[in-house]
Structure 1
Amino acid sequence: MGLIFPDDLMAWQRWQRGRHGLRAARDLLRRPSPPGLTLHLPTDDPVVLFALEASTPTAIASVTVPLKHLGGVPAAVVAPFNATALLPGTWRTIPLGVVPELPTELGGIRAVVASGHFLPAGAVAYEWSRRLGARFLVVQHGLMTPFAPPLPHGAHLLAFSERDGDFWRSGRTDVTADAIGSQLLWEAARHVARTAPVDAPPAAAATPVFLGQLHGAELPRRISGGTAVAFCRRFGAEYRPHPAEVDRISRLQHALWRRRGIRFAPAGGMLDRPRPVVSIFSTGVLEAAAGGVPSWVTCLRPPAWVQEFWERYELAVWGGEPTPAPPAARDRACPCGRRAGARRRERRGMNVLCVIPVRGGSKGVPGKNARVVAGKPLVVWTIERALAVPGLDVLVSTDDPTLAEIAREAGADVPFLRPAELAQDTTPTEPVVRHAIDFRTAEGRRPDAVMLLQATSPVRLPGTLERAVAQFAAGGVDALVGVVPQTPFFWRLGGEPDGGARAAYDVAARPRRQELGAADYHYFENGSLYITRTEIYEQQNNRIGGRVGLFVLDEREGVDIDTLVDLRVAEQVLAELNEGVEQ
């Protein structure tokens, strides 16, 4: 997964306006004037220019902290307000207006530092950098969602991690990136090292704080606000508004919540008075973890991109162990920079072949593997998810030239057309996988393990396959089976001595669903996913053998297409997941 708008700033801005309909309508009626800019100059001719967009503590720190480390190199600051009271040192200011020309005082600028070119100061600074031939540096300030604005053409990104850099670039070759870590997380780690008293009571025992995100365009308020209210009511948490929740709608929402008994947390740093921290996708969750404060994420009906976000940053869902602290800043503070990188290096030592078997013939739904479902040929949904896993060798085994061409266009390797004797209605899957193993072995690329994916189970959430590979690599099992959890309320016909049906649970003590533990569930093998050591196929001719582990899939991933009804269900689920990414 990457950005929704990887290189089109105007499309991103239209999306932003569309997400704030009332604000856009108000602005259309009032036609507010854009803010004028102010240039802040040092006593000497500046060499570096910073674009400051807001007066929030995080925004100010994004300028003041780097200024301390410039070693006396003179720097200027452009902002949509007079920031002299917020910046260290002595400054001379020049009002610039809304669309300013390049000031002569900036003729010696060699580098421009900004959060991007999507806000007024950054947009002007970017245009100046192009006229001056100066390098434009974009600094990552928070965790990356698919709705981040695109990077400017020719920019150089200073990212928390290599993975964040790749995510923000989204395949673009006109921008470059370096992973430098996060000042925010580094400061949080230093804070706990400096201030944690030896006899401090555990923060986990205190009242939780829910970090608000009503200001964000990424989620509709029915999800961001609904999650906040539901969590605060159920667990007695206090709500802490985001500093940007100052618009009229947010203030009205706050007033309504207060009347309904929602308590609001007092102002102050999370790390100064540590209490459990919960949010949907706030950077504050990882900041709290870095500072030794228990933190979690939660969301009512989380869209697919939120679940991928949690997985990418290793954020723990409420109810289990808290989010692990990220590494220290010297190790490039974001967890996806070191721990995820270590996992990828660990997995690079295991050669995993992904086999996706598809036939041209199909009895239940004729031609289903090539059939367009939710905008793509059915097999493409599985290919794309497999190709998103780093280092996975994705091979499609088919007897059909049309399917072979579709798979190649989607990026999969189709090195052969499957022999007719392995493409019959009665052909088991195992000989097909053995054929692919033998082909790779003959090339000198014998796999250590095989991931078997059925194209007829097209619903897979972002990150599912990568998690499965990680679980297989770390779990010490010979075979990993993808399963969907089912409640134990099953019956068997003719199980009783009198010929009556028998329940699979104690009908005299029927449990409520919320009382069920992991051991109470049954797990349905839907055929979507298997990972098996190659030796099991070679010795037992079976995808399951030796020590078996279960990989629990999301309920939505349990769709298996055998009928036209299944196909319609799959199409609806895939369309809803896509809609969740687009929201």
Structure 2
Amino acid sequence: MALIHPRSLERWQEWRGSRRRVRGIHRARPSESAPGYVLHTREGEGSARILLGIDTADGAAHGGLPAVLPYVHGSAVVVTPAGLALDELEGPDWQHRRISEPSAALDGLGITSLLTLGWHREVGRSLHEWAREADVPGAVVQHDVLTPFAPPLPPDVTLLSWTVEDGEFHRADRDDIVVRAVGSQRLWQARHEASGEPPALDAQPVFLGQLSTIELPRRVTLRAAESYCRFAGALYQPGPAETDRLARAAHLLLRRRGIGFQDPSTTLSELGGPLAAVFSADVLDAAMRGIPAWVHAPGAPSWLAAQWERYGMRRVGGEPTPAPELGTDEPARLIAQILEGGA
């Protein structure tokens, strides 16, 4: 199955708006008391002036964009929503200025390339629209496992994908997209953060909850959680966005059926034992750390099985998911090199 909307952002947004709203804190949105944006600048050596658009501080969603900054030899310019705090943008080398609109502030800065997670968020869309008008080459970095419901790419950009297969899937046969496979910064970091100690195979397994995902009906994700927890004697760990009324009702149902819960703030490195999920980069992250990990979703649609195969994710009952292969160079370093070469 291919992307449901390979070209039209508006149609993708209509689809997303038709799904249930996921309630919770979304740090990508500026608060009412902090409208506008912030322009962060750091002068460097060389002629390149790299522009990054960062919409959110969420670790999974910002896709490792800040990890590129230490490898940028030239100057760096970052646009964020006002009120968004990032440790990577603090320090004496950084200057900060409130702006009302990114496009007016960027003209005349000599930007040579742009990097975002796409144009499906506010900052990313504004910057890609500006870049097309200013004839500045743009790039989008993949930040998560891809489903057919991924947002379409902006026109005329370079896609920095995890793998060649991901790149071909995401560009959806468009002839205006150039694909360069650079690997996953998240998985690179997971490999280097791995403790090296063997996992606790006798530890109680955990199922990572995904009731808030809009790609699948909640009945599918709830059935997957209950069946795995019963099969493996596992704990259920709620996802961070499982705070709405229906999610709380599902949690109560699981508890009434005798399923224990894991603290939702527990990280993968703190788990240390086997885990399962419906579909998640956490499965690959765990495999990279040497933690046995599987996928599980009885009655799921066919696109999910195709996704599992593309990433080498293994189903419950078989061997654990193997650690994905990574290149010899850090993705963030490769991305910086590509950007300073003009994307």
CA RMSD between the two structures:
2.8
Q: Which has the higher contact order (CA 8 A, sep 6+)?
A: 2
Question: Identity of counterpart residues, as a percentage?
Answer: 36
- Return 5+ residue gaps in structure 1 as ranges: 24-31, 334-583
Specify which structure has the higher proportion of helix. 1
Secondary structure of the structure 1 residue equivalent to 2:140: strand
Q: Report if the CA contact (8 A) 1:9-1:118 is conserved.
A: yes
Q: Paired residue for 2:138, among 136, 139, 142? A: 136
* Shift in alpha-carbon separation, 1:322–1:158, aligned structure 2, 3 A: same
Q: Give TM-score scaled by structure 2 length.
A: 0.83
Deviation of 1:298 after TM superposition, in Å, equals 0.6
Q: Report if the CA contact (8 A) 1:6-1:170 is conserved.
A: yes
State the partner residue of 1:75.
Answer: 76
Distance 1:164 1:37 in 2: 34
State the partner residue of 2:19.
Answer: 19
State the partner residue of 1:95.
Answer: 98
State the partner residue of 2:129.
Answer: 127
State the partner residue of 2:232.
Answer: 235
* Shift in alpha-carbon separation, 1:248–1:116, aligned structure 2, 3 A: farther
Deviation of 1:131 after TM superposition, in Å, equals 2.6
State the partner residue of 1:212.
Answer: 209
* Shift in alpha-carbon separation, 1:282–1:68, aligned structure 2, 3 A: same
Distance 1:268 1:243 in 2: 10
Deviation of 1:315 after TM superposition, in Å, equals 1.0
Count, aligned residues: 318
Q: Report if the CA contact (8 A) 1:181-1:331 is conserved.
A: no
Deviation of 1:13 after TM superposition, in Å, equals 0.8
**Greater mean alpha carbon deviation, residues 86-95 or residues 132-141:** 86-95
> Deviations 1:72-102 (Å, cap 9, x if unpaired)?
x2222222343345324334433344x6542
* Shift in alpha-carbon separation, 1:61–1:115, aligned structure 2, 3 A: closer
Distance 2:86 2:130 in 1: 25
> Deviations 1:170-199 (Å, cap 9, x if unpaired)?
11001111011111111222223xx223xx
State the partner residue of 1:326.
Answer: 324
State the partner residue of 1:29.
Answer: none
> Which amino acid counterpart does residue 237 of structure 1 have in structure 2?
A
Deviation of 1:106 after TM superposition, in Å, equals 6.2
State the partner residue of 1:38.
Answer: 37
Distance 2:321 2:72 in 1: 34
Distance 1:177 1:297 in 2: 28
- Return 5+ residue gaps in structure 2 as ranges: 24-30, 332-343
State the partner residue of 1:225.
Answer: 222
* Shift in alpha-carbon separation, 1:85–1:152, aligned structure 2, 3 A: closer
Q: Report if the CA contact (8 A) 2:79-2:102 is conserved.
A: no
* Shift in alpha-carbon separation, 1:251–1:101, aligned structure 2, 3 A: farther
> Which amino acid counterpart does residue 20 of structure 1 have in structure 2?
R
State the partner residue of 2:287.
Answer: 289
Q: Give TM-score scaled by structure 1 length.
A: 0.50
> Deviations 1:391-439 (Å, cap 9, x if unpaired)?
xxxxxxxxxxxxxxxxxxxxxxxxxxxxxxxxxxxxxxxxxxxxxxxxx
* Shift in alpha-carbon separation, 1:34–1:305, aligned structure 2, 3 A: farther
* Shift in alpha-carbon separation, 1:223–1:258, aligned structure 2, 3 A: same
Distance 2:295 2:177 in 1: 32
Q: Determine if the alignment matches structure 1 residue 191 to structure 2 residue 193.
A: yes
Distance 2:21 2:41 in 1: 41
State the partner residue of 1:110.
Answer: 112
Instruction: Give runs of aligned pairs for residues 59-70 of structure 1, distance below 5 A.
Output: 59-60=61-62, 62-70=64-72
Q: Paired residue for 2:161, among 140, 159, 162? A: 159
Distance 1:128 1:181 in 2: 28
Deviation of 1:169 after TM superposition, in Å, equals 0.8
> Which amino acid counterpart does residue 310 of structure 1 have in structure 2?
W
Deviation of 1:260 after TM superposition, in Å, equals 4.8
Distance 2:77 2:42 in 1: 10
Distance 1:100 1:53 in 2: 13
